[in-house]
Amino acid sequence: MSRICNTSAGRRHDGGFTLIELLVVIAIMATLSALVLVGATQLGIGSKKRKTETILAILRQGIELGAASKGSTVSSVEHPLAGSRPGRLLFAGQRGRAADGSGGSWVAALDASGEGLVGAPEWFVQGSDRNRVLMPDDTFADTRVPMLFGARRELLGIIGAEMGAVTRYRRLSPPKPPELLLPAPYDGTNARYSDALCLVKPAGVALDNKRALDYLFGGSSVISELSGLKAVYTPPDDDATKRLYPPTTIASTDNGGRVWSPDGGDPADGKSFWEAGRIQEGLMNSGPDAGQPDWKLYKLRGLGIYDAWNREILFSYSSSGAVRLLSAGYDGVLRWNPGQNRVLDTAANATAAGGDDKDGERDNIRQEVAQ
């Protein structure tokens, strides 16, 4: 008696799988792979966070030891991309306030080309010159540097030496009675604030960063410990063709370049989109992305101290004199993360993220050292 075999698609061949079963297996494998990838990513982030916390702790201890042995510590210097030299990147801030700090209005673009004024509050200065005052509560507002965008000026310092390509301002004497009763004692003529006494114009160069770090941490193991964690880095050269000069050059000032880039300065191209560790320098010059924003990797000129993501650590003082050490964390931004579209959609003074931006402050890593 003959047998009739049923070979319909609904039954499985011996040792095989139906199409539906195969698709289910593939879906499960894809899900497991995604979970493994997410877990590995989170593990990597956690590992780098702990490493950065260790770096900050070593710095904190080094600063404490330096202060104890020398009786004082070195000053924070301006971050190259937030420096006072005319040709500054964009800041915004409150102007027109009274002596008690009340009143005033938000100025979305403070003066970037005039000589900066430091040491006195903005009410101490007349008219439009108020926009030249560099106030601690001013907000970094230049979208070409997402890492710093939205952060207060008072946070934007580094450990290093003052450089002529970064710093240049006139220091005013703090107002004293009866000047407190006057609306605007500073008249913009510098008659009372001569260059010889009040113009801060350092001659420092990139090599001076090492000297500053040697002074601060000399006699301790701080630099060797940081080196072991790969937290110190010096660019292989300081060639002028590798320097970035954002945003403009101003006559009679040091235009030697604020930061160093492995991508090279214009006309060399970087990438047409932002990612952490990059700043915009003009537009792409060639290729299919010609005319698009040109985003380039950057590092500090000279010896610098970096977190586990290879981004510079910020160093500043609070109003009470406490030393602040700050890392931008995994996302590489201090305040606003540009999100998936890689474009900042948030105003510098906003209290909530706009568009698809995210709060970049959540993963910041910080330590504060009381003096």
pLDDT of residue 246: 77
pLDDT category, 42, cuts 50, 70, 90? low
Tell me the mean pLDDT in the region 269-295: 96
- CA dist 129 and 96 (Å) reads 11
Checking if the pLDDT of 175 tops 90, the result is no
- 105 found inside a domain: no
Nearest Cα neighbor of 54 from 325, 361, 318, 362 is 325
pLDDT category, 179, cuts 50, 70, 90? low
Lay out the sheet containing 259-260: strands in order across.
Answer: 243-244, 259-260, 299-300
pLDDT category, 4, cuts 50, 70, 90? very low
pLDDT of residue 36: 60
Residue with the larger pLDDT of the pair 14 and 164: 164
DSSP state of 106: E
- 347 found inside a domain: yes
- CA dist 203 and 245 (Å) reads 17
- 153 found inside a domain: no
How does pLDDT run across 316-353, given as a tens digit for each residue? 988 888 889 999 999 999 999 999 999 999 999 999 99
Tell me the mean pLDDT in the region 226-232: 96
Kindly state the greatest CA–CA separation across the chain. 122
Domain count, the chain: 1
- 66 found inside a domain: yes
Residue 152: left (phi > 0), alpha (psi -120 to 50), or beta?
Answer: beta
Please, what is the Cα angle at 253 between 250 and 254, to 5 degrees?
110
Quickly count helices (H) and strands (E) in the chain. 4, 20
- CA dist 158 and 75 (Å) reads 9
What residues make up the domain containing 239?
A: 20-71+223-371
Tell me the mean pLDDT in the region 35-51: 69
Between the CA of residue 76 and those of 14, 47, 63, 166, 319, what are the distances in Å? 75, 28, 12, 13, 13
pTM for the predicted model, two decimal places: 0.85
Residue with the larger pLDDT of the pair 50 and 2: 50
Lay out the sheet containing 103-107: strands in order across.
Answer: 103-107, 91-97, 139-140
- 243 found inside a domain: yes
* Average pLDDT of the chain, as a whole number: 87
User: Can you read off the two tokens belonging to residue 89?
Assistant: 């990147």
Checking if the pLDDT of 370 tops 80, the result is no
Tell me the mean pLDDT in the region 52-63: 93
Nearest Cα neighbor of 300 from 51, 115, 82 is 82
Q: Are 142 and 247 in contact (CB under 8 A)?
A: yes
- 172 found inside a domain: no
Tell me the mean pLDDT in the region 116-132: 89
Checking if the pLDDT of 7 tops 50, the result is no
Question: Tokens 């003074």, residue?
Answer: 349
DSSP strand pairing (323-327 vs 139-140): unpaired
Tell me the mean pLDDT in the region 19-38: 70
DSSP string across 36-72: HHHHHHHHHHHHHHHHHHHHHHHHHHHHHHHHHHHSS
pLDDT of residue 39: 56
- 122 found inside a domain: no
pLDDT category, 293, cuts 50, 70, 90? very high
pLDDT of residue 56: 96
pLDDT of residue 83: 96
Between the CA of residue 16 and those of 8, 12, 13, 248, 315, what are the distances in Å? 14, 6, 5, 69, 64
**Most confident segment among 3-12, 65-74, 225-234:** 225-234
Checking if the pLDDT of 102 tops 50, the result is yes
Burial 124-163 (b: 16+ CB within 10 A, else e): bbeeebbbbbbbbebbbbbbbbbbbbbbbbbbbbbbbbbb
- 147 found inside a domain: no
